[in-house]
């Protein structure tokens, strides 16, 4: 499942929950990653949290614990504006 689908699964739970309860409830879901995948249980374990008070807290913790292969090209964005004081690329007309 995608990260957006992961957030939906986490939001569907009744909080507060311990990390063990959350892993038991939805840990078997598989996250899609560039080099395969991993279970949500493994990601929840990496958060280092013992308890989640809200779905937002759980979602942010999981987003922070996913590996690089879950987020695509690391450090790349073709939509970021050129920072102030830096000469950007020359515009190209097609």
Could you read off the pLDDT tens digit of each residue along the chain, which spans 94 residues?
888 899 999 999 999 999 999 999 999 999 887 777 889 999 999 999 999 999 999 999 999 998 776 666 666 666 666 667 777 767 777 7
Q: Is 78 a member of any domain?
A: no
Query: What per-residue confidence (pLDDT) applies to 72?
Result: 62
Q: Is 87 a member of any domain?
A: no
Q: Is 92 a member of any domain?
A: no
Query: What per-residue confidence (pLDDT) applies to 87?
Result: 75
- Per the structure, the complete domain to which residue 46 belongs is given by 3-69
Distances (CA, A) of 62 to 6, 17, 49, 85: 9, 14, 10, 35
Its pTM surpasses 0.85: no
CB atoms within 10 A of CB 17: 21
Query: What per-residue confidence (pLDDT) applies to 93?
Result: 78
| DSSP 8-state class, residue 70 | G
Q: Is 41 a member of any domain?
A: yes
């Amino acid at each position: 499942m995608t990260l957006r689908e992961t957030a939906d699964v986490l939001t569907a739970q009744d909080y507060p929950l311990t990390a063990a309860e959350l892993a038991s409830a939805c840990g078997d879901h598989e996250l899609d990653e560039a080099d395969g995948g991993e279970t949500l249980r493994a990601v929840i374990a990496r958060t280092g949290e013992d308890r989640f008070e809200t779905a937002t807290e759980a979602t942010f913790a999981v987003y922070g614990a996913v590996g690089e292969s879950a987020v695509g090209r690391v450090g790349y964005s073709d939509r970021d504006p050129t920072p102030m004081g830096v000469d950007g690329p020359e515009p190209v007309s097609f």
